[in-house]
Amino acid sequence: MKSVIICDMEGKIQNLNKDAEKLFGYSNDELIGKKRVSIFSPGEIVLQNVLVWLKKANSNGIYETKTNFIKKDGTIFNAKIVITPNFSNGKGNPQTGYCGITEPIDEDIKIPISLTTKIIKAVAITRAGFTSASLFPVLVVAAYFAGKGDSLFSIFSLFLTLIGILFLQLFSNLYNDYFDVKHGTDGLNDNYFNVGLNDPILKGAQLSGGSRAVELGLITLPRTKYLANIMLIVSVCSLISIFGISINNTNSIFNSKIILIIALLGMFLGYFYTAKPLRLSGRNGLGELTIFFAFGPLLTLGTGYAISINTIDLFSSEFNNLLLLGLPVGLLTTNILFINQFPDFESDTKAGKNNLVVLFGKKISRWIYLILLILTFIFMFLFSDILNHEIINFSFSIYYLCNLILLSVGLLIYKHIFINYDKRSLIKSNINTIYFHTIFSIVYILMLNPFYLN
């Protein structure tokens, strides 16, 4: 028996022979144009080996190895596979995918799983690689306080806040996956984006359609829920510690009361982003609004109260500044979510997940991305006078130059989106939107604390 399967560059199955159907237990209709070849391998082997095999096949023109495969009924068997790059449009044209020829063998094949792979597995399950979206706003507030003067915040509180926010996002990520799998949203998604070999840093990262961890067998659905609750417990423990330190630093419980309110609101939004009956992610733009507030003004305000050694009065100038600090990072984080909704358009539509891309369609939605980008830099321009008043050694020239360069880069990313909004090549913009958020955040932090100008 010799199974032959042809897939595109993202691993989506394009064709297979009868032996492949018999060997793996799937029908032709279940696979072609719907599933990816990753479903034929145990999840840890996918994470550790598959991209390496594809690289070697690309470099040498062919790659042969022995490994474990998995059938539809969950049976694991041993086989030899030969992988070759596929050029369906002719050798002189760009590669279109891969061809895998699989033969069962009567050998005991054991693939050792490295510690690195187990760490990558944990990152994949929790989507920990994307927690920078919640950690950068915390560092923005710390930079703001440091830029204003010395000894305005507690370093230990900052550390605990980073821990608490990190685990709160992991809690949210896991419950988002849990409910999207439970409600069938992820199961309908055949067009999700995986970075694959498209980027050396984010290589293999899941950009849309959830983590796919349950689908790959990396974790079970009940275990996902259990792990989410563990993350919440760790976050709450950090929160309790922050309360004690805040009371000690300010000689007041006022900051702690505000921290509690904001933390509870964050937990509520993180849970009900995908949980019914609210399911904010599918309620006509409420999901995008939730991401904006949770990863922007709400997060910077809560951080300010958590790390400050002074009591911050409600609606004071400091209160308002902390809210304003979160606007640009909130807008850019919303754009990460927003662009990742493009490949999920069809499945979200079927699942009744009425986000903005589903409501307006991809063609109109590309303008929304531009609006969010432009609003970010309009705000940065208007915010300059406040920062000049608050930040020691603030430089208008450096501030405007940095923002002009960043805006130019953002517009280049948007140009690619405008042209490729309905193509698989859009993935480059998804990747670049993540990088843009990271670069912007780092530059923002350096502008808020211009220690290098002393």
- Report the C-alpha gap between 360 and 364 in whole angstroms: 6
DSSP state of 278: T
Label the pairing between strands 76-86 and 97-104: antiparallel
- Report the C-alpha gap between 76 and 43 in whole angstroms: 12
Q: Would you say the pTM of this structure is higher than 0.85?
A: yes
Sheet of strand 3-8: strand arrangement: 13-16, 3-8, 97-104, 76-86, 63-70
How many CB atoms are located within 10 Å of the residue 31 CB? 24
Give which of 443, 351, 364 is closest to 405, Cα–Cα.
443
- Report the C-alpha gap between 174 and 254 in whole angstroms: 32
What value does the CA radius of gyration of the chain take, rounded to a whole number of Å? 24
pLDDT per residue as tens digits for the range 281-312: 999 999 999 999 999 999 999 999 999 999 99
Q: Which residue numbers in the chain have pLDDT < 50?
A: none
| pLDDT confidence of residue 139 | 98
- Report the C-alpha gap between 440 and 449 in whole angstroms: 14
Contact between 162 and 135 (Cβ < 8 Å): yes
Contact between 369 and 341 (Cβ < 8 Å): no
- Label residue 86 left, alpha or beta by phi (over 0 means left) and psi (-120 to 50 means alpha): beta
Q: Which CATH class is domain 3-104?
A: alpha beta
Q: Which CATH class is domain 119-453?
A: mainly alpha
442 token code pair: 């780092």
Contact between 88 and 79 (Cβ < 8 Å): no
| pLDDT confidence of residue 451 | 85
- Label residue 216 left, alpha or beta by phi (over 0 means left) and psi (-120 to 50 means alpha): alpha
- How do the domains of the chain map onto residue ranges? 3-104, 119-453
| pLDDT confidence of residue 190 | 86
Contacts by 146-151, CB closer than 8 A, 24 or more apart: 146/448, 146/449, 146/451, 147/390, 147/391, 147/392, 147/394, 147/448, 147/449, 147/450, 148/390, 148/391, 148/392, 149/392, 151/309
On the question of a cis peptide bond just before residue 42, with omega within 30 degrees of 0, the verdict is: no
Same fold, 3-104 and 119-453: no
Give which of 223, 222, 204 is closest to 36, Cα–Cα.
204
Residues 6+ apart with CB under 8 A from 83: 53, 54, 57, 62, 63, 64, 98, 99, 100
DSSP string, 113-168: PPHHHHHHHHHHHHTGGGTHHHHHHHHHHHHHHHHH-SS-B-HHHHHHHHHHHHHH
pLDDT per residue as tens digits for the range 338-375: 999 999 999 999 999 999 999 999 999 999 999 999 99
Q: What are phi and psi of 360, to 5 degrees?
A: -105, -15
